[in-house]
A and B are shown apart, each in its own frame.
Chain A
Amino acid sequence: MASYAHPEVLVSTGWAAEHLSDPGIRIVESDEDVLLYTQGHVPGAVMIDWQTDLQDAIVRDYIGKERFAQLCSSKGIGNDTTVVFYGDKNNWWACYAFWVFKLYGHEKCLIMDGGRKKWELDGREWSRDPEASYPRTQYVAKEPDLSIRAFREEVLKHTRAGKPLVDVRSPGEYTGELLSMPDYPQEGALRGGHIPGAVSIPWSKAVQEDGTFKPAKELEKLYCKENGLGRRGRTIAYCRIGERSSHTWFVLKYLLGFGNVKNYDGSWTEWGNMVGMPIERGPQPGAVPSEQKPQTTATG
């Protein structure tokens, strides 16, 4: 494979710089650190926060179709707008926002390759202007596209059937020594380990030093040759809360052209907290014991 399967979803920082005032394009920053946008953003970019904008504040879920439409309208994003996502941390949150936009059926989504890091390395301009206000749109969101989102029962069935599951967390989280990334608060799950059957391919292996994605050939080698994943059938990716796995979801679906990839956004903070779920500890993928069934219903 000489080039990405869908090279059109990835744009360079140079391309973004040339399209800053294109009315058909909205550049969106999504970060782990919310203050980075205030500190300096791509001129004209708006900010969408994964937590306070995209997630419901009470129920652990996304904001829902109506509020998604309101959010897009308020940021001047119409159904036809091309949205270019970028952010800190090798575009984790950018990929996460991209995934949520796809969930609600937004068609034209792009990722600015390399994110904040590459923009900075290029020596490009950062703006400290307050977020620009664009004319409101009459955005109409679609029903969530569940072909890209996996839920726990489906993940259990999937792995029990021996289908491909990718754990994109750090090696220590996979083996169960750590409950979160190294240097992150070790909280969020009561048990350590991974979903039985999952192969470990840390997300960071897909990126280069300058924050951009590795070339197609190297990605192919990593995911397909070394770890045996294939384009046919369904692949599910997960991490701790679904952000790093949306990065891998993007790589598999758009850069390698896998036909059917889902992000399990419940991820380890759901799986590692549920009563009775099978867990594998150690470096081996393992498998779900056939007799082990989680008790999900109770009587009396």
Chain B
Amino acid sequence: MTMPVAKLDQIVAEFADLEPRERLELLLEFAEKLPPLPERFVAERDAGLHRISECQTPTFIWVEIVDGRVQIYANCAPEAPTVKGFVSILVDAFSGATPEEVAASPDDVLKRLGLLETLGMVRMRGLSAIQHYIRQQVRKAAAD
């Protein structure tokens, strides 16, 4: 089994080899493969729970820890594929990781993905909030 932190490195490496335009295409591929929200979370989402308030488009995240491993579920607005793509990368990278590994993940994932220049600084802030939120939720779930 691939180690989760290694998983993030793997995604970063995948992005690193690409031209800026291809990076956007890969980000879109991630956006399109974000798994649908499991039925059991739909009522909570519709009630506005688990929403990342710092994020400009409706973005919802659930974190669970099963047998010491992190599971992340997410729901994002279709009109904001950038957010959806980044969430999908984090879901992919962190699912199956230990809470410690998520806590130790680097702060500058977006920069490592080479998306800083393409997205611009203003957009980066909102996206960074997603990673902070996930880490915070993982910490909370691990403490429970």
Taking the closest CB of chain B, its distance from the CB of A239, in whole angstroms, is: 14
Taking the closest CB of chain A, its distance from the CB of B123, in whole angstroms, is: 7
Given A52-B120, A185-B125, A34:B54 Cβ within 8 A: no
Of residues 44 through 91 on chain B, the ones whose CB sits less than 8 Å from some CB of chain A are 53-58, 79-83, 85
Inter-chain contact B24/A35, CB cutoff 8 Å: yes
* Residue A270 CB within 8 A of the other chain: no
A-B contact pairs, 7 of them (CB 8 A): A33-B79, A34-B82, A34-B123, A35-B81, A38-B25, A183-B56, A185-B55
Of residues 233 through 267 on chain A, the ones whose CB sits less than 8 Å from some CB of chain B are 241
Query: Which residues of chain A have a CB within 8 Å of any CB of chain B?
Result: 33-36, 38-39, 49, 51-52, 55, 88, 130-131, 181, 183-187, 241
Contacts A34-B118, A183-B57 aside, 4 further interface pairs with beta carbons under 8 A come to A33-B80, A35-B85, A51-B123, A52-B118
Which residues on the B side are within 8 Å of A36 (C-beta)? 79, 81
* Residue B102 CB within 8 A of the other chain: no
Inter-chain contact B120/A49, CB cutoff 8 Å: yes
Inter-chain contact B123/A35, CB cutoff 8 Å: no
Taking the closest CB of chain B, its distance from the CB of A29, in whole angstroms, is: 13
* Residue B31 CB within 8 A of the other chain: yes
Give the size range of B's interface with the partner: 20 to 34
Taking the closest CB of chain B, its distance from the CB of A298, in whole angstroms, is: 29
What secondary structure prevails in chain B residues at the interface with A?
Answer: helix
Inter-chain contact A51/B120, CB cutoff 8 Å: yes
* Residue B117 CB within 8 A of the other chain: yes
Inter-chain contact B123/A185, CB cutoff 8 Å: no
Inter-chain contact B24/A38, CB cutoff 8 Å: yes
* Residue B126 CB within 8 A of the other chain: yes
Which residues on the A side are within 8 Å of B58 (C-beta)? 183
In the complex, residue of chain A having the shortest beta-carbon distance to the beta carbon of B129? A185
Which residues on the A side are within 8 Å of B79 (C-beta)? 33, 36, 88
Query: In the complex, A170→B14 CA distance in Å?
Result: 41
Inter-chain contact A39/B122, CB cutoff 8 Å: no
Query: In the complex, A32→B83 CA distance in Å?
Result: 11
Taking the closest CB of chain B, its distance from the CB of A53, in whole angstroms, is: 9
Which residues on the A side are within 8 Å of B122 (C-beta)? 51, 241
Query: In the complex, A181→B57 CA distance in Å?
Result: 11
In the complex, residue of chain A having the shortest beta-carbon distance to the beta carbon of B81? A35
* Residue B27 CB within 8 A of the other chain: yes
- Interface flags, B4-46, vs A, CB<8A=1, else 0: 0000000000000000010011011001000000000000000
Taking the closest CB of chain B, its distance from the CB of A57, in whole angstroms, is: 8
Inter-chain contact B81/A185, CB cutoff 8 Å: no
Of residues 107 through 125 on chain B, the ones whose CB sits less than 8 Å from some CB of chain A are 117-123, 125
Please indicate which of the listed interface residues A55, A131, A183 has the most CB atoms of chain B within 10 Å of its own CB. A183
